[in-house]
Copies of this chain bind each other. A is one copy, B any other.
Amino acid sequence: MSKWIEEELEPGLRAFYGLKKVLNSCQSKWQSVDVVDLECFGRTLMIDGLIQSCQIDEHVYHESLVHPAMLTHACPKSVYIGGGGEGSTAREVLRHASVEKCVMVDIDGDVVRFCKDALPENAEAFADPRLELVIDDAKAVLEKGGTYDVIIMDLDDPLEGGPCYQLYTTEFYQMIKSKLNPGGVFVTQSGQAGSKRHHLVWSPVHSTLRTVFPSVRSYNQAIYSFMDEWGWNIAFLDAAMGTLLTEEQVNQRISERIKGELKFLDGESYRGLFCLSKAHRETLAKETRVLSTEKGTYATMHSQGLCIAES
Protein backbone atom coordinates (compact mmCIF):
# COMPACT_ATOMS: atom_id res chain seq x y z
CA MET A 1 0.00 0.00 0.00
CA SER A 2 1.16 3.46 -0.86
CA LYS A 3 0.12 5.33 2.29
CA TRP A 4 0.59 9.06 2.74
CA ILE A 5 -0.09 11.75 5.28
CA GLU A 6 -0.97 15.08 3.75
CA GLU A 7 -0.20 18.40 5.38
CA GLU A 8 -1.14 21.79 3.94
CA LEU A 9 1.92 23.91 4.69
CA GLU A 10 0.28 27.03 3.34
CA PRO A 11 -2.43 27.61 0.74
CA GLY A 12 -1.08 26.21 -2.51
CA LEU A 13 1.68 24.17 -0.88
CA ARG A 14 1.07 20.65 0.31
CA ALA A 15 3.45 18.02 1.59
CA PHE A 16 2.84 14.27 1.41
CA TYR A 17 4.81 12.16 3.85
CA GLY A 18 5.14 8.45 3.12
CA LEU A 19 3.51 6.66 6.05
CA LYS A 20 5.15 3.45 7.16
CA LYS A 21 2.95 2.88 10.17
CA VAL A 22 0.63 4.52 12.66
CA LEU A 23 2.34 3.51 15.90
CA ASN A 24 -0.10 4.92 18.40
CA SER A 25 -3.08 7.25 18.48
CA CYS A 26 -5.26 8.91 21.07
CA GLN A 27 -8.02 11.45 21.14
CA SER A 28 -7.78 13.72 24.14
CA LYS A 29 -10.36 16.22 25.28
CA TRP A 30 -8.41 18.87 23.39
CA GLN A 31 -6.80 17.36 20.37
CA SER A 32 -6.01 14.22 18.43
CA VAL A 33 -2.53 12.85 18.93
CA ASP A 34 -0.67 10.32 16.80
CA VAL A 35 2.77 8.84 16.78
CA VAL A 36 3.56 7.68 13.28
CA ASP A 37 6.58 6.27 11.50
CA LEU A 38 7.30 8.39 8.43
CA GLU A 39 9.60 7.25 5.66
CA CYS A 40 11.27 10.66 5.46
CA PHE A 41 11.36 11.84 9.07
CA GLY A 42 11.30 8.70 11.24
CA ARG A 43 9.10 8.45 14.31
CA THR A 44 6.93 11.57 14.38
CA LEU A 45 4.49 13.12 16.82
CA MET A 46 1.47 14.70 15.13
CA ILE A 47 -1.16 16.79 16.87
CA ASP A 48 -4.39 17.53 15.04
CA GLY A 49 -2.76 16.31 11.85
CA LEU A 50 0.20 18.69 12.01
CA ILE A 51 3.78 17.60 12.57
CA GLN A 52 4.99 18.51 16.05
CA SER A 53 8.35 16.83 16.21
CA CYS A 54 10.29 14.20 14.35
CA GLN A 55 12.93 11.77 15.41
CA ILE A 56 15.44 13.04 12.87
CA ASP A 57 15.52 16.65 14.01
CA GLU A 58 13.42 17.38 17.12
CA HIS A 59 16.72 18.03 18.87
CA VAL A 60 17.37 21.02 16.59
CA TYR A 61 14.10 22.61 17.67
CA HIS A 62 14.39 21.79 21.36
CA GLU A 63 18.06 22.69 21.77
CA SER A 64 17.33 26.01 20.03
CA LEU A 65 14.34 26.72 22.25
CA VAL A 66 15.92 25.84 25.58
CA HIS A 67 19.65 26.37 25.68
CA PRO A 68 20.10 30.01 24.56
CA ALA A 69 17.87 31.13 27.44
CA MET A 70 19.38 28.73 29.95
CA LEU A 71 22.98 29.49 28.99
CA THR A 72 22.48 33.24 29.05
CA HIS A 73 21.12 33.09 32.59
CA ALA A 74 23.84 33.29 35.23
CA CYS A 75 22.69 30.17 37.05
CA PRO A 76 19.16 28.92 36.34
CA LYS A 77 17.71 27.07 39.33
CA SER A 78 13.99 27.32 38.75
CA VAL A 79 12.36 26.94 35.33
CA TYR A 80 8.76 27.19 34.23
CA ILE A 81 7.63 25.50 31.00
CA GLY A 82 4.24 26.40 29.54
CA GLY A 83 3.08 23.61 27.26
CA GLY A 84 5.73 21.17 26.17
CA GLY A 85 3.61 18.10 26.90
CA GLU A 86 5.81 15.97 24.71
CA GLY A 87 8.54 16.18 27.36
CA SER A 88 11.46 17.11 25.12
CA THR A 89 11.64 20.67 26.40
CA ALA A 90 11.80 19.44 29.99
CA ARG A 91 14.43 16.91 28.95
CA GLU A 92 16.70 19.68 27.66
CA VAL A 93 16.06 21.87 30.72
CA LEU A 94 16.88 19.05 33.11
CA ARG A 95 20.23 18.48 31.47
CA HIS A 96 21.34 21.70 33.17
CA ALA A 97 22.98 20.70 36.43
CA SER A 98 22.01 23.95 38.12
CA VAL A 99 18.29 23.29 37.83
CA GLU A 100 16.64 22.46 41.11
CA LYS A 101 13.02 22.68 40.04
CA CYS A 102 11.33 22.53 36.65
CA VAL A 103 7.59 23.16 36.64
CA MET A 104 5.93 22.00 33.44
CA VAL A 105 2.28 22.94 32.93
CA ASP A 106 0.37 21.44 30.05
CA ILE A 107 -3.38 21.56 29.75
CA ASP A 108 -3.67 18.16 28.09
CA GLY A 109 -3.03 15.30 30.49
CA ASP A 110 -3.77 12.73 27.84
CA VAL A 111 -1.03 14.04 25.59
CA VAL A 112 1.44 13.94 28.45
CA ARG A 113 0.50 10.39 29.40
CA PHE A 114 0.57 9.35 25.75
CA CYS A 115 4.03 10.83 25.13
CA LYS A 116 5.41 9.35 28.34
CA ASP A 117 4.59 5.94 26.90
CA ALA A 118 5.33 6.57 23.25
CA LEU A 119 8.60 8.53 23.39
CA PRO A 120 11.25 6.54 25.26
CA GLU A 121 13.87 9.29 24.83
CA ASN A 122 11.95 11.43 27.32
CA ALA A 123 11.35 8.75 29.92
CA GLU A 124 14.29 9.83 32.05
CA ALA A 125 13.06 13.44 32.09
CA PHE A 126 9.55 12.42 33.13
CA ALA A 127 11.05 10.38 35.98
CA ASP A 128 13.36 13.16 37.17
CA PRO A 129 12.42 14.19 40.75
CA ARG A 130 13.15 17.84 39.91
CA LEU A 131 10.25 17.83 37.42
CA GLU A 132 6.93 19.06 38.77
CA LEU A 133 4.29 18.15 36.22
CA VAL A 134 0.98 20.01 36.42
CA ILE A 135 -2.01 19.34 34.17
CA ASP A 136 -3.68 22.71 34.00
CA ASP A 137 -3.78 26.03 32.18
CA ALA A 138 -0.26 27.41 31.74
CA LYS A 139 -1.43 30.99 32.36
CA ALA A 140 -3.56 30.24 35.41
CA VAL A 141 -0.85 28.27 37.18
CA LEU A 142 1.75 30.95 36.57
CA GLU A 143 -0.58 33.68 37.83
CA LYS A 144 -1.28 31.78 41.03
CA GLY A 145 2.23 32.19 42.32
CA GLY A 146 5.89 31.38 42.28
CA THR A 147 8.73 33.10 40.46
CA TYR A 148 11.33 31.61 38.17
CA ASP A 149 14.77 32.20 36.74
CA VAL A 150 13.77 31.07 33.26
CA ILE A 151 10.30 30.86 31.74
CA ILE A 152 9.82 28.94 28.49
CA MET A 153 6.66 28.99 26.39
CA ASP A 154 6.53 25.94 24.14
CA LEU A 155 3.01 26.50 22.88
CA ASP A 156 1.00 25.84 19.77
CA ASP A 157 0.94 28.59 17.21
CA PRO A 158 -1.69 31.24 17.97
CA LEU A 159 -4.36 29.64 15.81
CA GLU A 160 -7.68 31.38 15.46
CA GLY A 161 -10.04 29.71 17.86
CA GLY A 162 -7.16 27.72 19.30
CA PRO A 163 -6.24 27.55 22.97
CA CYS A 164 -3.07 29.62 22.77
CA TYR A 165 -3.53 32.93 21.01
CA GLN A 166 -4.01 34.77 24.33
CA LEU A 167 -0.56 33.57 25.36
CA TYR A 168 1.08 35.72 22.69
CA THR A 169 -0.04 39.13 23.97
CA THR A 170 1.36 42.14 25.78
CA GLU A 171 -0.88 41.45 28.79
CA PHE A 172 0.40 37.90 29.12
CA TYR A 173 3.98 39.04 28.75
CA GLN A 174 3.45 41.67 31.48
CA MET A 175 2.33 38.92 33.80
CA ILE A 176 5.31 36.76 32.84
CA LYS A 177 7.69 39.64 33.52
CA SER A 178 6.27 39.84 37.04
CA LYS A 179 7.06 36.15 37.62
CA LEU A 180 10.73 36.35 36.67
CA ASN A 181 13.37 36.53 39.36
CA PRO A 182 16.04 39.25 38.95
CA GLY A 183 18.27 38.37 36.02
CA GLY A 184 15.43 36.30 34.61
CA VAL A 185 15.03 35.22 30.99
CA PHE A 186 11.92 34.48 28.98
CA VAL A 187 11.77 32.63 25.66
CA THR A 188 8.85 31.68 23.47
CA GLN A 189 8.51 29.70 20.29
CA SER A 190 7.27 32.11 17.63
CA GLY A 191 6.23 30.15 14.55
CA GLN A 192 7.60 30.09 11.03
CA ALA A 193 10.57 32.33 10.41
CA GLY A 194 11.76 31.79 6.86
CA SER A 195 12.00 34.48 4.20
CA LYS A 196 8.33 34.23 3.23
CA ARG A 197 6.40 33.86 6.46
CA HIS A 198 8.42 35.36 9.31
CA HIS A 199 6.10 38.37 9.49
CA LEU A 200 3.07 36.28 10.43
CA VAL A 201 3.90 35.54 14.07
CA TRP A 202 7.61 35.93 14.68
CA SER A 203 7.91 39.67 14.09
CA PRO A 204 4.68 40.76 15.87
CA VAL A 205 5.67 38.65 18.87
CA HIS A 206 9.00 40.49 18.80
CA SER A 207 7.40 43.95 18.74
CA THR A 208 4.92 42.93 21.43
CA LEU A 209 7.69 41.76 23.74
CA ARG A 210 9.52 45.04 23.19
CA THR A 211 6.60 46.89 24.79
CA VAL A 212 7.24 44.88 27.95
CA PHE A 213 10.92 43.97 28.24
CA PRO A 214 13.98 46.22 28.06
CA SER A 215 15.78 43.81 25.77
CA VAL A 216 14.41 41.36 23.22
CA ARG A 217 16.12 39.24 20.58
CA SER A 218 14.59 37.24 17.76
CA TYR A 219 16.34 34.23 16.34
CA ASN A 220 15.65 31.47 13.84
CA GLN A 221 16.92 28.17 12.54
CA ALA A 222 16.05 25.86 9.63
CA ILE A 223 14.23 22.70 10.75
CA TYR A 224 14.20 20.19 7.92
CA SER A 225 11.00 18.39 8.89
CA PHE A 226 9.15 21.70 9.38
CA MET A 227 10.13 22.57 5.79
CA ASP A 228 11.02 26.13 6.81
CA GLU A 229 13.08 28.10 9.25
CA TRP A 230 11.56 28.29 12.71
CA GLY A 231 11.57 31.27 15.03
CA TRP A 232 11.87 32.16 18.69
CA ASN A 233 11.94 35.36 20.72
CA ILE A 234 13.98 35.73 23.87
CA ALA A 235 13.53 38.58 26.39
CA PHE A 236 15.62 39.71 29.32
CA LEU A 237 14.68 41.53 32.52
CA ASP A 238 18.12 43.04 32.57
CA ALA A 239 18.92 44.96 29.38
CA ALA A 240 22.60 44.15 29.62
CA MET A 241 21.87 40.46 29.16
CA GLY A 242 20.68 41.16 25.62
CA THR A 243 24.32 41.25 24.53
CA LEU A 244 25.14 37.95 22.90
CA LEU A 245 27.52 35.59 24.57
CA THR A 246 30.76 34.95 22.72
CA GLU A 247 31.18 31.57 21.07
CA GLU A 248 33.80 30.71 23.65
CA GLN A 249 31.47 31.60 26.53
CA VAL A 250 28.79 29.37 25.05
CA ASN A 251 31.14 26.45 24.62
CA GLN A 252 32.51 26.87 28.14
CA ARG A 253 29.08 27.09 29.75
CA ILE A 254 27.89 24.05 27.83
CA SER A 255 30.82 22.00 29.10
CA GLU A 256 30.39 23.26 32.65
CA ARG A 257 26.64 23.06 32.97
CA ILE A 258 25.12 20.48 30.65
CA LYS A 259 25.10 16.74 31.12
CA GLY A 260 25.83 14.72 28.00
CA GLU A 261 26.57 15.89 24.48
CA LEU A 262 24.40 18.36 22.60
CA LYS A 263 23.87 17.35 19.00
CA PHE A 264 23.07 20.69 17.44
CA LEU A 265 24.10 23.59 19.63
CA ASP A 266 27.55 24.89 20.42
CA GLY A 267 29.17 28.30 20.24
CA GLU A 268 29.10 28.57 16.48
CA SER A 269 25.53 27.23 16.14
CA TYR A 270 24.47 29.72 18.81
CA ARG A 271 26.09 32.55 16.86
CA GLY A 272 24.28 31.34 13.74
CA LEU A 273 20.88 31.39 15.49
CA PHE A 274 21.25 35.11 16.09
CA CYS A 275 22.63 36.04 12.67
CA LEU A 276 19.50 37.26 10.94
CA SER A 277 19.34 38.11 7.29
CA LYS A 278 19.12 41.69 6.15
CA ALA A 279 15.49 41.14 5.16
CA HIS A 280 14.56 39.61 8.49
CA ARG A 281 16.10 42.51 10.39
CA GLU A 282 14.30 45.03 8.21
CA THR A 283 11.00 43.32 9.01
CA LEU A 284 11.73 43.48 12.73
CA ALA A 285 12.77 47.13 12.50
CA LYS A 286 9.55 48.10 10.73
CA GLU A 287 7.22 45.91 12.78
CA THR A 288 4.81 48.03 14.84
CA ARG A 289 1.96 45.61 15.52
CA VAL A 290 1.35 44.84 19.18
CA LEU A 291 -0.69 41.81 20.15
CA SER A 292 -3.10 42.61 22.93
CA THR A 293 -5.99 40.87 24.62
CA GLU A 294 -7.46 44.21 25.61
CA LYS A 295 -7.27 45.75 22.16
CA GLY A 296 -8.34 42.51 20.55
CA THR A 297 -5.29 42.33 18.30
CA TYR A 298 -4.24 38.77 17.94
CA ALA A 299 -2.03 36.88 15.57
CA THR A 300 -4.64 34.46 14.33
CA MET A 301 -4.75 31.76 11.77
CA HIS A 302 -6.67 31.83 8.53
CA SER A 303 -6.38 28.59 6.58
CA GLN A 304 -2.87 28.25 7.93
CA GLY A 305 -1.98 31.79 6.91
CA LEU A 306 -1.53 33.65 10.16
CA CYS A 307 -2.60 37.23 10.14
CA ILE A 308 -3.18 39.98 12.63
CA ALA A 309 -6.78 40.93 13.16
CA GLU A 310 -6.75 44.46 14.41
CA SER A 311 -10.13 45.46 15.80
Contacts and interface: CB of A to CB of B under 8 A. Distances in A.
B6 A5 contact: no
A13 interface: yes
Nearest to A50: B1
Interface stretch (A94-102, A106-114, A116-124, A267-275): A267-275
Interface in A233-290: 262-266, 268-269, 271-272, 275-279, 281
A265 B278 CA distance: 6
A36 B57 CA distance: 31
Nearest to A267: B278
Interface in A71-128: none
Most buried by B among A7, A19, A49, A278: A278
Contact of A268 (B4, B228, B229, B276): B276
A271 B6 CA distance: 36
A154 interface: no
A1 B5 contact: yes
Contacts of A3: 3-6, 19, 22
Report the contact-size class of chain A (Cβ under 8 Å from the partner): 35 or more
A5 B13 CA distance: 10
B264 A269 contact: no
Given A12-B17, A13-B39, A275-B268, A224 B194 contact: yes
A45 to B, nearest CB: 11
A159 to B, nearest CB: 17
Contacts of A276: 268-269, 272
Contacts of A271: 271, 275
A34 interface: yes
Contacts of A277: 60, 264-265, 268-269, 272
A194 B278 CA distance: 21
Contact of A1 (B36, B224, B229, B279): B36
Contact of A195 (B10, B57, B279, B281): B57
A175 interface: no
Nearest to A261: B278
B1 A2 contact: no
B13 A2 contact: no
Given A56-B196, A264-B279, 4 more contacts: A12-B17, A194-B222, A227-B227, A269-B275
17 contacts: A2-B49, A3-B3, A11-B39, A12-B17, A12-B38, A12-B39, A15-B16, A16-B16, A194-B224, A196-B224, A222-B222, A222-B229, A224-B229, A265-B278, A266-B278, A268-B275, A269-B277
